[in-house]
Amino acid sequence: MKKILTYGTFDLLHIGHINILKRAKAIGDYLIVGVSTDQFNAIKGKKSVYSYEDRKQIVEAIKYVDLVIPENNWEQKIDDIKKYGIDIFVMGDDWRGKFDYLKEYCEVVYLPRTSNISTTEVKIDIKNNK
């Protein structure tokens, strides 16, 4: 069984989120998703519309996802790869090269992002349409 791991904030769920999770699941058998906690988002300078618990429940409901874990910090990735026996680490290609250091522990794959959609753009559109 091939285990896949990815991470993200997954705020304001949109087709880009679904596409990347669908693509990630298609290259393996078991998809684990690390969802950024509210505390980690604060460290990154991000503020989510929905709380971690709500985002976790939303991601758990997606049929491609087998397990959701909290993403608490940048450094936990190696520990998660070892703990869960990860075969492939997946991120969007806007992160290309940033996680190549994980190749020592598993395969690293950067998947194409869905064009013309991002959570930041959705937030801007919502704000401008008020």
Catalytic (active site) residue 56: no
Whole-angstrom Cα distance, residue 55 to residue 84? 21
Residue type, 88: I
- Is the separation of the CB atoms in 23 and 111 below 8 Å? yes
Write down the catalytic residue from 2, 3, 44, 77: 44
- Mention every residue, 6+ apart, whose C-beta is less than 8 A from residue 43: 73
Write down the catalytic residue from 3, 22, 46, 98: 46
Catalytic (active site) residue 44: yes
Residue type, 64: Y
Catalytic positions, written as ranges:
44, 46
